[in-house]
Amino acid sequence: MKRVLYPGSFDPFTIGHFDLVARACKLFDEVIVGVAVNPGKNPLFTLQERADLIAASCKDFANVKVVSFEGLLIDAVQNLKADAVLRGLRAFSDFEYELQMALTNRSMLDSCETIFMMPNANTSFISSHMVKEIAFLHGKFEPYVPASVADAIHKKLEF
Ligand code: PNS
pLDDT digits (tens, 9 = 90+) for 95-107: 999 999 999 999 9
How far is it, in rounded angstroms, from Cα 54 to Cα 34? 10
Q: How far is the CA of 159 from the centre of ligand 1 (A)?
A: 31
Q: pTM for the complete prediction?
A: 0.97
Tell me which residue has its CA closest to atom 3 in ligand 1: 9
pLDDT digits (tens, 9 = 90+) for 43-98: 999 999 999 999 999 999 999 999 999 999 999 999 999 999 999 999 988 999 99
pLDDT digits (tens, 9 = 90+) for 30-40: 999 999 998 88
Tell me which residue has its CA closest to atom 21 in ligand 1: 101
- C-alpha Rg value of the chain to the nearest Å: 15
72, 79 in Cβ contact below 8 A? no
C-alpha dihedral (105, 53, 41, 39), degrees to nearest 10: -60
Instruction: Answer whether 34 contacts ligand 1 (Cβ < 6 A).
Output: no
Domain ranges of the chain: 3-157
Instruction: Answer whether 12 contacts ligand 1 (Cβ < 6 A).
Output: no
Architecture category of domain 3-157 in CATH = 3-Layer(aba) Sandwich (3.40)
